């Protein structure tokens, strides 16, 4: 089953690569990008689009990384709290059994 998954992933990657080449070939027109305070040199439309998607993806992954770190930290704290409470419950159970 693992080999089937690898084949599917490889086929998907090949399709994305093919579509990327086709996209770059069809959008080769040179365009200068003006970012209010900065004017960038003329590059192909496909390059600007691919760069914008890549930068957006990297920013999204970076922001989600910070969120994941925060969530894992709170999960760790919750697990510690649960462990303490379970110890307390066990101690109370033992005390109630001894008192009988």
Strands 38-44 and 30-35: antiparallel
Please choose, from the candidates 24, 72, 68, the residue with its C-alpha nearest in 3D space to the C-alpha of residue 48.
24
Length of the chain (residues)? 100
Count the neighbouring beta carbons within 10 Å of the beta carbon of residue 24.
15
Give Cα separations from 57 to 40, 51, 62 (angstroms).
Answer: 21, 10, 9
Instruction: Report the share of the chain in percent with pLDDT over 90.
Output: 49
- Tens-place pLDDT, residues 20-35: 888 888 888 898 888 8
- The pTM of the full predicted model, rounded to 2 decimals, is 0.61
Mean pLDDT of 73-98: 91
């Amino acid at each position: 089953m693992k080999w089937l998954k690898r084949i599917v992933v490889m086929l998907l990657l090949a399709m994305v690569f093919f579509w990327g080449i086709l996209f770059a070939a069809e959008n080769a027109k040179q365009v200068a990008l003006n970012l209010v305070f900065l004017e960038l040199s003329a590059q192909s439309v496909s390059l600007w689009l691919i760069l914008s998607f890549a930068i957006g993806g990297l920013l999204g992954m970076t922001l989600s990384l910070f969120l994941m770190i925060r969530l894992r930290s709170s999960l760790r704290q919750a697990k510690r709290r649960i462990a303490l409470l379970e110890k307390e419950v066990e101690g109370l159970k033992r005390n109630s059994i001894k008192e009988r």
